[in-house]
Amino acid sequence: MGLYDNIGTAQVSGSGQYFKPGQYRVQVQEVKEITSRKGVNFFIVEVTVLKTTCPDYQAGATIGWPVNLSQDYALGNIKEFAQALAGDMQATVTAQDIEAMLGEDQPAAGMELDVDAIERISRQGNTWTQARWRPRGTLTMVRDGSDY
């Protein structure tokens, strides 16, 4: 048996880069659903950074936004993403809308959105970053004292 015999069934991992605190203008590349090696289902949005106030990323960076579908917050976070895509944070979102987003046609691909990534602290004291999706042009990004 060779070292690469199982390459045909290997899972390709995502970008491995996630939102860090800051504001972003991003372009959606892909919306997908995957099942992890541990059997957990994730809704994932892959984006390209167009501009950001986060010093850790530059334009052109690829970021993944994974949502663990087994968590209580999952559907609310996905709904906010869909509302931002619709350009209306009060828009009605249906299961059919999300299924269409995940389809072959990838209707969200190429769309630009703003993301406000905020550092939070969990009840257990762990830090995590919450991504708040907004329609493009909603955030005024400032870095080093000037609009960005």
DSSP run (H or E) holding 142? strand 142-143
Could you list the beta-strand ranges (E) of 36-111: 41-52, 62-68
Q: φ and ψ at 96, to 5 degrees?
A: -65, -35
146 or 107, greater pLDDT: 107
What pLDDT score does 143 carry? 53
What pLDDT score does 148 carry? 46
State the chain's mean pLDDT as an integer: 89
Percent of the chain predicted with pLDDT > 90: 76
Pairing of strands 127-135, 112-121: antiparallel
Q: Is the pLDDT of residue 26 over 90?
A: yes
Task: Give the span between the Cα atoms of 86 and 69, in whole angstroms.
Answer: 22
| Residues 66-75 pLDDT 10s | 999 999 999 9
Confidence of residue 13 (pLDDT cuts 50, 70, 90): low
6 or 43, greater pLDDT: 43
Task: Give the span between the Cα atoms of 63 and 28, in whole angstroms.
Answer: 10
What pLDDT score does 5 carry? 76
What pLDDT score does 55 carry? 94
| Residues 41-97 pLDDT 10s | 999 999 999 999 999 999 999 999 999 999 999 999 999 999 999 999 999 999 999
